[in-house]
């Protein structure tokens, strides 16, 4: 039923915008630090905070400083950190065995966070690209990214992460059948409480470039990822992928990238009513930061406006590199 509005001047919609107090009373969506997952890059070494040139304000931290980052996030009210490793190129191989090494960067960082702040949730990435000499999310055979053999490796990677103490596993690989395989393996190994936040609708986007710099995958990538990541022209396909992943045991779903795909976020939430997240990816972050640093945009205003857009589109939470800065403003 379409709502009716009395004719002017009985209705003056500007009455609802007259003062900050009135605007606050009628605001439809709210944004808080509890809406954020903070992506953090981890590297080898000690005492290192290494700036990432294509992502102003973002650094790679050595494992010994990850606990400090977790304490910062917890103090700001951010409930979760998502870890991404910058793997030594010497450890990148055809068989990607470093992905399930119990002492790889991701697993050591997970244990460091849980020791420093037991209450914060740790999320990890499941995909082979940080460990793959070819830079792809899956194994490459004769130029083809193969599915089923990759899924077997992803299961080993996820079990290694679960043993390290993660709370949320984020499969970002886009292989078919991986959610069912991961859920079955986690249940069988006694990790029934580990959540799966599936990157169910991950597009073959041009917005990932700075992230690939951050994890050292840019130079390694041979070809593109269009045979497994989604065509940016498609929306109905996204719904089929989300439905499949939920049926296979995903607890939450992710749309990636974020701002160019708010329509997908809205459709997913309306159709499935499942916990829905979006990833405000590196390219989105970088372009806003670059414009703000050049004085072309009000950086603080567009940061908060962009984050609110995700809530307005129906998202329950956002992975964003703006998390600490936004949380400081919102909590202050």
202, 225, 269, 311: the catalytic one is 202
Confidence of residue 223 (pLDDT cuts 50, 70, 90): confident
Mean of the pLDDT values across residues 169-178?
Answer: 97
Mean of the pLDDT values across residues 37-41?
Answer: 98
pTM, 2 dp? 0.95
pLDDT surpasses 90 at 262: yes
Q: What is the CATH number of the domain that holds 147?
A: 3.20.20.70
Q: Decide: residue 261, CB within 10 A, 0-12 exposed, 13-18 middle, 19+ buried.
A: buried
- Whether 5 is in a domain gets the answer no
Find residue 252's DSSP bridge partners: 197
Q: So what's the pLDDT on residue 25?
A: 96
Confidence of residue 4 (pLDDT cuts 50, 70, 90): confident
- Whether 8 is in a domain gets the answer no
- Whether 20 is in a domain gets the answer no
Where does residue 45 fall: left (phi above 0), alpha (psi -120 to 50 degrees), or beta otherwise? left
Provide CB contacts within 8 A for 21, sequence distance 6+. none
- Whether 2 is in a domain gets the answer no
Q: So what's the pLDDT on residue 256?
A: 98
Confidence of residue 277 (pLDDT cuts 50, 70, 90): very high
Q: Can you read off the two tokens belonging to residue 24?
A: 């606050």
Annotated active-site residue 256? The verdict is yes
What span, in angstroms and rounded, lies between the C-alpha atoms of 268 and 278? 11
Mean of the pLDDT values across residues 119-125?
Answer: 98
Q: So what's the pLDDT on residue 332?
A: 62
Confidence of residue 222 (pLDDT cuts 50, 70, 90): confident
- Whether 24 is in a domain gets the answer no
- Whether 13 is in a domain gets the answer no
92, 225, 256, 269: the catalytic one is 256
Domain count, the chain: 1
Using the structure block, give the residue that is written with the tokens 């994890």: 215
Domain containing residue 161: 31-331
Q: Give tens-digit pLDDT for 66-109.
A: 999 999 999 999 999 999 999 999 999 999 999 999 999 999 99
pLDDT surpasses 90 at 217: no
Confidence of residue 216 (pLDDT cuts 50, 70, 90): confident
| Mean per-residue pLDDT over the chain, rounded | 95
pLDDT surpasses 70 at 274: yes
For the chain, what is the largest distance between any 2 Cα atoms, rounded to a whole number of angstroms?
72
- Whether 119 is in a domain gets the answer yes
Q: Give tens-digit pLDDT for 51-71.
A: 999 999 999 999 999 999 999
- Whether 18 is in a domain gets the answer no
CA separation, residue 155 to residues 27, 124, 207, 240 (Å) = 44, 13, 28, 23
* φ, ψ (nearest 5 deg) of residue 14: -70, -20
Annotated active-site residue 225? The verdict is no
């Amino acid at each position: 039923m379409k709502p009716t509005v009395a004719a002017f001047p009985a209705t003056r919609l500007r009455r609802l915008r007259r003062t900050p107090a009135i605007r606050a009373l009628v605001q439809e969506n709210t944004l808080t630090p509890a809406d954020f997952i903070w992506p953090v890059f981890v590297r080898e070494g000690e005492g290192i905070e290494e700036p990432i040139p294509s992502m102003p304000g973002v650094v790679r931290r050595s494992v010994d400083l990850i606990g400090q980052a977790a304490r910062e996030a917890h103090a700001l009210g951010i409930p979760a950190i998502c870890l991404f490793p910058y793997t030594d190129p010497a450890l990148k191989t055809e068989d990607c065995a470093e992905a399930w090494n119990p002492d790889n960067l991701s697993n050591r960082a997970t244990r460091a966070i849980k020791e420093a702040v037991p209450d914060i949730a740790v999320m990890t990435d499941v995909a082979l690209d940080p460990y793959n000499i070819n830079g792809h999310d899956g194994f490459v055979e004769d130029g083809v990214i193969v599915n089923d053999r990759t899924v077997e490796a992803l299961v080993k990677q996820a079990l290694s992460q679960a043993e390290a103490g993660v709370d949320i596993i984020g499969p970002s690989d886009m292989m078919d059948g991986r959610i069912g395989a991961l859920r079955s393996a986690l249940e069988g190994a006694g990790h029934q409480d580990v959540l799966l936040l599936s990157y169910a609708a991950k597009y073959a986007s041009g917005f990932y470039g700075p992230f690939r710099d951050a994890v050292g995958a840019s130079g390694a990538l041979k070809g593109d990822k269009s045979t497994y990541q989604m065509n940016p022209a498609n929306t109905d396909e996204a719904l089929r992928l989300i439905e499949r992943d939920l049926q296979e045991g995903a607890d939450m779903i992710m749309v990636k990238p974020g701002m160019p795909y708010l329509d997908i976020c809205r459709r997913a939430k309306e159709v499935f009513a499942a916990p829905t997240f979006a990833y405000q990816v590196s390219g989105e972050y970088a372009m806003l930061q670059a414009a703000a640093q050049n004085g072309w945009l009000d950086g603080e205003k567009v940061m908060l406006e962009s984050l609110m857009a995700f809530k307005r589109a129906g998202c329950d939470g956002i992975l964003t590199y703006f998390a600490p800065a936004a949380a400081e403003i919102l909590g202050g």
